């Protein structure tokens, strides 16, 4: 920044020596604008998460006394585990974390298990319904979730599986499968068919070919599908509200956190809960940012 202010200040003196072109003025202005906007965007996107962290260690009375304090006191930092322990013990967040992990990991595993062979079929094999299926996949993920929610609610109630975790895993899979198929398909299309043709001529079966040739080549695509599937299952709320509200033992993290949002519960605990649910996603994101960004654009992830 320092160099820019300097050049603005010296500009009038330089006019006589050198005529400023429109190009130069615009580049200068654009640069100032750019840095100002970067600051604004960083503030807009990162600050709420910083605030979440700060508020998760400051208790309500301290916040009411000094609502604009941007840093917690050392004393508050020293006692930071308090609110987290309260949330985990008093409000059963341990159970919710377990449920959410179970559901998310199951969704990831099963989605990959079905989507990899499915995507292979849609890219490499010839069959009559090929085009219909490829288009059907795309249409499915534009469907309004709330429209299928009500009939499913009725059927699940009748079958007596409404409060069960396997029931919700299948619902989540119906959302993740089409996108996973689509993402994997666009990746498989970039793998030259000659590679597997050689293996097929050598007498290797199709399934073995997928396992030994396609899969090792598709690690980045598989990783991004796994990551984004995990995120969808971990963050999902609508179906959790519809199906699990009556069965507190099956609550996932988002549902449990939502139920905590009442007048009686101190905001400190709410923020501690928010940190617990957000941190895994952010950590995964920073470790695998490359895969995730690729996946988000390749598959046009629903959100």
Touching other proteins, residues 70-109 (CB under 8 A): none
Which residues have a Cβ under 8 Å from the Cβ of 204 and sit 6 or more positions away?
212
Contact status: 144 vs other proteins (CB under 8 A): yes
Q: What share of the chain is helix, strand, coil (3-state, %, to 5)?
A: 80, 0, 20
Q: Using CB under 8 A, which of the segments 79-87, 91-99, 144-152, 195-203 binds other proteins? A: 144-152
Min dist CB 295 to other proteins, Å, is 10
For the chain, what is the radius of gyration of the CA atoms? Answer: 26
User: For residue 115, how many C-alpha atoms fall within 13 Å in the half-sphere facing its CB?
Assistant: 30
Q: Using CB under 8 A, which of the segments 39-47, 75-83, 192-200, 218-226 binds other proteins? A: 39-47
- 68/56 Cα distance (integer angstroms): 15
Min dist CB 123 to other proteins, Å, is 10
Instruction: Pull the structure tokens for residue 137.
Output: 């996949």
Min dist CB 292 to other proteins, Å, is 8
72/254 with CB nearer other proteins? 254
13/31 with CB nearer other proteins? 31
Could you say which of 82, 95, 164, 235 contacts other proteins (CB under 8 A)? 235
Min dist CB 277 to other proteins, Å, is 5
Could you say which of 7, 10, 20, 34 contacts other proteins (CB under 8 A)? 34
Could you say which of 184, 188, 253, 299 contacts other proteins (CB under 8 A)? 253
Interior CA angle at 288 toward 282 and 291, to 5°? 125
Q: Using CB under 8 A, which of the segments 1-9, 84-92, 216-224, 290-298 binds other proteins? A: 290-298
Q: Using CB under 8 A, which of the segments 1-9, 43-51, 85-93, 218-226 binds other proteins? A: 43-51
Helix (H) or strand (E) run with residue 269 in it: helix 267-287
Q: Among 259, 256, 263, which residue's Cα sits nearest to residue 94?
A: 256
Contact status: 267 vs other proteins (CB under 8 A): yes
Min dist CB 293 to other proteins, Å, is 6
13/61 with CB nearer other proteins? 61
Residue numbers 176-195 binding other proteins by CB under 8 A: 177-178, 181
Contact status: 62 vs other proteins (CB under 8 A): no
What burial letters (b/e) apply to 136-174, b meaning 16+ CB within 10 Å?
ebeeebeeebeeebeebeeebeeeeebbbbebbbebbbe
Could you say which of 1, 193, 208, 282 contacts other proteins (CB under 8 A)? 282
Inter-residue contact 65 to 254 (CB < 8 Å): no
Q: Among 236, 126, 235, 222, which residue's Cα sits nearest to residue 181?
A: 222
């Amino acid at each position: 920044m320092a160099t820019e202010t300097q050049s603005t200040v010296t500009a009038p003196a330089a006019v006589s020596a050198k005529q400023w072109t429109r190009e130069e003025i615009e580049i200068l202005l654009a640069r100032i604008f750019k840095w100002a906007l970067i600051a604004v965007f960083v503030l807009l996107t990162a600050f709420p998460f910083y605030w979440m962290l700060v508020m998760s260690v400051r208790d309500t009375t301290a916040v009411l006394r000094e609502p604009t304090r941007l840093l917690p006191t050392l004393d508050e930092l020293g006692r930071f585990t308090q609110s987290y322990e309260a949330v985990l013990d008093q409000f059963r967040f341990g159970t919710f974390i377990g449920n959410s992990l179970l559901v998310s990991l199951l969704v990831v595993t099963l989605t990959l298990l079905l989507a990899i062979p499915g995507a292979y079929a849609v890219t490499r094999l010839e069959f009559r319904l090929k085009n219909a299926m490829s288009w059907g996949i795309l249409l499915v993920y534009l469907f309004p979730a709330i429209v299928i929610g009500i009939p499913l609610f009725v059927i699940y109630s009748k079958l007596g599986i409404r409060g069960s975790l396997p029931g919700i895993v299948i619902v989540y899979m119906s959302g993740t499968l089409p996108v996973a198929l689509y993402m994997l398909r666009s990746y498989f299309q970039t793998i030259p068919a000659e590679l597997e043709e050689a293996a097929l001529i050598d007498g290797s079966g199709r399934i073995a070919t997928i396992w030994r040739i396609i899969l090792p080549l598709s690690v980045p695509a598989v990783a991004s599908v796994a990551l984004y599937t995990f995120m969808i299952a971990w963050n999902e709320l609508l179906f959790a509200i519809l199906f699990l509200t009556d069965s507190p033992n099956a609550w996932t993290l988002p549902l449990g956190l939502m139920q905590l949002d009442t007048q009686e519960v101190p905001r400190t605990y709410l923020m501690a809960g928010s940190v617990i649910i957000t941190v895994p996603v952010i950590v995964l994101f920073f470790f695998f940012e490359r895969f995730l960004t690729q996946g988000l654009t390749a598959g046009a992830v629903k959100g």
